[in-house]
Amino acid sequence: MPEPQLTAQTTAQILEEKIRCRTARVGIVGLGYVGLPLAVEFARAGFHVTGIDLSEAKTRRVNAGDSYIGDIPSAILAPLVQAGKLSATTDFSAVLDLDTINICVPTPLRKTKDPDMSYIVSACEEIVKYLHPGTLVILESTTYPGTTDELLLPMLSKGGLEVGKDFFLCFSPERVDPGNPKFQTANIPKVVGGCTAACTEIGRLFYAQALQHVVPVSSTQVAEMVKLLENTFRMINIGLVNEMALMCDRIRINVWEVIDAAATKPFGFMPFYPGPGLGGHCIPIDPFYLSWKTKQAGIEARFIELAGYINGQMPHFVVDKVQNALNDAGKPVKGSRIHVMGVAYKRDIDDMRESPALDVMMLLQRRGGLVTYSDPHVPRLHVEGLEIDASPQEAAAEADCVVIVTDHAAFDYPALVRQAALIVDTRNALKGVSSPKIVRL
C-alpha cells in the first residue's frame, strides 16, 4: 500500500481513538445560544472543552462559572469550570492544543437579504493559522448549501493539509430551541455530513460521545440543506396560517378556534399559529440563505418570498388592530398610552433578535402612541428609536390599550384581564376568556 494512505489511516485512527477515550481536546468557537450549551454537553461527557469567543465579557463569565444563557443554569456550568473541564479564551492560539473544533458563530443577513459570511470567514482565518494535522472541524452555523465545501474547505486547506486525510471537515446543523424544556442539545438528533466518508464517520463518532442520537448523511450539502428545509417548512407554514388569520379576520371567523378544531385530525395536519410576526435568529433569516443560493442557479424561491411578505405584514396588521380598537373606544392612537406585554421574540426567553415587538412598538410610536412595556426577561430595550426600561405588569392598568405580543408564562393573565381597559391579544394568551375588552388577532 502506498505511504500516503498509511498516513491517512493513522491520522484518522489516532483521532478516533482520542474521541472514543474522550481524551480529545474539544474546542467550541462562538459561545452563544448554540455554542455554550454544546460546550457544556461535551464537558459533561468527560471531554476537556475550550470555548473561544471574541467577547471578553463572555469568556470572563464562563471562566467564573456565571452563565448568560437561559437554558444553562450557572449551577451546571460552574462545577464543570471548577473541575477544569471547561474554560474559555479569546485567544485562537488555543487551537494548537485542540483535536476538534465546532464553529458556532452568527450568520446574519445583510440589509439586502444576502448572507453575511463575515463571522465564519474571520473565525476560519484565525483557525487556519493554528490548524494542525489530526483535527476535526465542524461548521454548525446555519448557512447556504455549499458553504462548507466552497468556502471553508479552500480556506482550511490553504496550508497544504488534505481533507479526509490530514484533517476532517463536516457540517452539522444546529437545531437547538432555546427555552424548550423537553428538547435540548443532548436529546435533539444531530445530523452530520462530511466532505469525505472518513470525515462523516469521525463527525458521527464525535457527536455520539455526548449526544443521544446522530444521523449521518452523505455530504455537507445535504446536511446544510436539511436545516434550510426544516426552517423553510416552519416559515412557510407560519406564513400560511398568518394569511389564514388575515382572511378569518376579514370574514369574522375566530382563526384560533379553527386551528384547534383542525388539529383534532389525527393525521395529515400539523398546527401552526398566527402571531405578530416572525422573530429570532433562524426562521425569518435562514430561508433567505436558500433563496439567495437558488437565485444563482436560476430558480426563484417563490414560496419563501411570499411567506416572507405575509409574515412581514403582521406587525402592521397588529398595529391596525390596536388603532381600530382604540378608535372603537373613542380614543385616537395619537396620545394614547399603549402597554406592550412581552417583547422577546418568543415566550419565556430573553432573545430580542428580529423580535416583531420592535416593529409593533416603533409603528405605534410613529402613529403617536405613548408606548411602554413589561417583560420579565428583558429589563431594558436599547435599540435605535426605542430606549425604554421595562415596567412592572401593574403599569398595564394605566394604559388605554394593552397589546400581548409575547405570551410569557410569568405574566398574571387573570389580573391583566381584571385591570386592563382594552386588550389586543396577538397570541391567544387569553384563550377561553370571554370579555368585550379583548380583541383577538
Ligand X SMILES: NC(=O)c1ccc[n+]([C@@H]2O[C@H](COP(=O)([O-])OP(=O)(O)OC[C@H]3O[C@@H](n4cnc5c(N)ncnc54)[C@H](O)[C@@H]3O)[C@@H](O)[C@H]2O)c1
Taking CB under 6 A as the binding criterion, the range among 49-57, 196-204, 207-215, 424-432 that sits at the site for ligand X is: 49-57
107 binds ligand X (CB under 6 A): yes
Q: Which of residues 242-301 bind ligand X (CB under 6 A)?
A: 281-282
- Annotated active-site residue in 104, 195, 282, 401: 282
348 binds ligand X (CB under 6 A): no
Nearer to ligand X, 183 or 269 (CB): 183
Rounded Cα distance between 51 and 26, Å, is: 8
Q: Count residues contacting ligand X (CB under 6 A)? A: 27
307 binds ligand X (CB under 6 A): no
Phi and psi torsions of 116, nearest 5°: -100, 100
Close Cβ partners of 252 (under 8 Å, ≥ 6 residues apart): none
Three-state secondary-structure class, residue 167? strand
Three-state secondary-structure class, residue 374? strand
**Is 282 assigned a catalytic role?**
yes
Looking at residue 133, the DSSP 8-state letter turns out to be T
Taking CB under 6 A as the binding criterion, the range among 48-56, 161-169, 243-251, 382-390 that sits at the site for ligand X is: 48-56
CB of 33 to ligand X, least distance (A): 4
Look up cell 455554550; give the residue.
Answer: 36
Q: Answer yes or no: are the C-beta atoms of 291 and 301 closer than 8 Å.
A: yes
128 binds ligand X (CB under 6 A): no
Nearer to ligand X, 33 or 413 (CB): 33
Count each helix (H run) and each strand (E run) in the chain, helices first.
13, 15
CB of 226 to ligand X, least distance (A): 12
104 binds ligand X (CB under 6 A): yes
C-alpha cell, 254: 375566530
Q: Answer yes or no: are the C-beta atoms of 430 and 423 closer than 8 Å.
A: yes
167-171 vs 190-194, strand pairing mode: antiparallel
Interior/surface letters 1-21, b for 16+ CB within 10 angstroms, e for the rest? eeeeeeebeebbeebbebbee
Close Cβ partners of 354 (under 8 Å, ≥ 6 residues apart): 278, 279, 280, 281, 284, 285, 345
Q: Answer yes or no: are the C-beta atoms of 365 and 396 closer than 8 Å.
A: no
Taking CB under 6 A as the binding criterion, the range among 118-126, 257-265, 366-374, 395-403 that sits at the site for ligand X is: 118-126
H-assigned helices in 213-301? 220-250, 255-262, 286-296
Q: Answer yes or no: are the C-beta atoms of 196 and 164 closer than 8 Å.
A: yes
58 binds ligand X (CB under 6 A): yes
Phi and psi torsions of 347, nearest 5°: -65, 145
Nearer to ligand X, 173 or 369 (CB): 173
| 142 Cα distance to chain centroid | 9
100-103 vs 86-89, strand pairing mode: unpaired
Taking CB under 6 A as the binding criterion, the range among 119-127, 234-242, 311-319, 332-340 that sits at the site for ligand X is: 119-127
Nearer to ligand X, 106 or 146 (CB): 106
One residue of 176, 226, 245, 424 binding ligand X per CB under 6 A: 176
Nearer to ligand X, 10 or 118 (CB): 118
106 binds ligand X (CB under 6 A): yes
C-alpha cell, 213: 442520537
312 binds ligand X (CB under 6 A): no
34 binds ligand X (CB under 6 A): yes
User: Which residue, judged by CB position, is nearest to ligand X in the bound state?
Assistant: 32
144 binds ligand X (CB under 6 A): no
123 binds ligand X (CB under 6 A): yes
One residue of 19, 31, 198, 245 binding ligand X per CB under 6 A: 31
Taking CB under 6 A as the binding criterion, the range among 170-178, 250-258, 270-278, 423-431 that sits at the site for ligand X is: 170-178
142 binds ligand X (CB under 6 A): yes
Q: Which of residues 317-336 bind ligand X (CB under 6 A)?
A: none
Q: Answer yes or no: are the C-beta atoms of 37 and 176 closer than 8 Å.
A: yes
Q: Answer yes or no: are the C-beta atoms of 315 and 277 closer than 8 Å.
A: yes
9 binds ligand X (CB under 6 A): no
178 binds ligand X (CB under 6 A): yes
CB of 315 to ligand X, least distance (A): 21
141 binds ligand X (CB under 6 A): yes
State the DSSP string of 255-275.
HHHHHHHHTT-SSS-------
33 binds ligand X (CB under 6 A): yes
CB of 313 to ligand X, least distance (A): 24
Q: Which residues are catalytic?
A: 282
Interface contacts to ligand X, rule CB under 6 A: 29-35, 52-55, 58, 104-107, 119, 122-123, 141-142, 174-176, 178, 281-282
